[in-house]
């Protein structure tokens, strides 16, 4: 007796022809400039939280260079889970703003700043970053209203620092409160991983929280944030002065 499944199953030859036809039809799409731009060169992202303030704020739209660290499982949409490693792999540098997925939640894209590479020892002491037992250079800037960045009243002023890593990468950080993330144990970055922090140090889920994020595998990199290409303020108006390269 022939089952219904057997009568409706296409032959192997039929399936092959269908696959060939579909592939031919997809060629114009796969090789179209917008598709190639997004898949292989730059992917756009929008910033939904204040964890990277003041560098990136809610309403910013950024490009991440996907070629910067090579291509892996998270470089392409709908990539199968069995893919491992990266092609044309390169490590990020100190201070890079990177988009990545975490081992604990690989469905969400995160953006943070790289402050530790394999073998580095990372620690926070009284709010200051230590790299390999040496304090990272920081210079106090004038205090400024924290507002939504710190979850305080608009008029409350917060500390700001200019932090400079050993390779010269320099950026501003916010120091909202004296909290438990200001003092940590020593984290030693394992091989094939990096350590990332948010610039808004007291309002960032990052590598300091081992149970939530921890060390990030290099294979989980998506790209390097290079430019803010559009930005809207809290009223939905263009924020043109924010457009440009990200440092």
Catalytic residues: 51, 112
Say if residues 114 and 92 touch (Cβ distance below 8 Å): yes
- Which own/partner contact pairs does 159-162 have at CB distance under 8 Å and 24+ positions apart? 160/54, 162/138
The dihedral through the CA atoms of 94, 95, 96, 98 has a sign that is positive
Q: How far apart are CA 163 and CA 169, in angstroms?
A: 8
Q: How far apart are CA 107 and CA 74, in angstroms?
A: 10
Give the closest residue to 199 by CA, choosing from 232, 163, 167.
Answer: 163
Q: How far apart are CA 119 and CA 212, in angstroms?
A: 21
Give the closest residue to 146 by CA, choosing from 197, 203, 208.
Answer: 203
Q: Phi then psi for 8, rounded to 5 degrees?
A: -100, -5
Give the closest residue to 143 by CA, choosing from 125, 161, 124, 129.
Answer: 161
Say if residues 234 and 59 touch (Cβ distance below 8 Å): yes
């Amino acid at each position: 007796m022939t089952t219904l499944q057997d009568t409706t199953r296409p032959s192997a030859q039929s399936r092959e022809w269908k696959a060939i036809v579909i592939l031919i039809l997809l060629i114009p799409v796969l090789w179209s400039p917008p598709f190639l731009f997004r898949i292989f060169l730059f992917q756009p992202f929008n910033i939904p939280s204040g964890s990277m303030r003041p560098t990136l704020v809610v309403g910013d739209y950024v490009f991440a260079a996907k070629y910067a660290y090579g291509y892996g499982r998270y470089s392409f949409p709908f990539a199968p889970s069995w893919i491992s490693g990266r092609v044309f792999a390169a490590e990020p540098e100190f201070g890079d703003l990177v988009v990545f997925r975490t081992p604990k939640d690989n469905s969400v894209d995160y953006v943070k700043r790289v402050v530790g590479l394999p073998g580095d020892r990372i620690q926070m002491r009284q709010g200051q970053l230590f790299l390999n037992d040496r304090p990272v250079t920081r210079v106090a800037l004038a205090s400024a209203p924290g507002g939504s960045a710190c979850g305080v009243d608009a008029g409350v002023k917060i500390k700001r620092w200019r932090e400079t890593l050993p390779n010269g990468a320099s950026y501003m950080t916010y120091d909202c409160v004296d909290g438990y993330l200001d003092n940590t144990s020593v984290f030693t970055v394992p091989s094939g991983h990096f350590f990332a922090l948010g610039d808004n140090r007291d309002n960032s889920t990052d590598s300091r929280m081992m149970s939530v994020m921890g060390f990030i595998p290099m294979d989980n990199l998506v790209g390097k944030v290079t430019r803010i290409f559009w930005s809207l303020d809290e009223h939905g108006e263009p924020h043109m002065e924010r457009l440009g390269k990200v440092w």
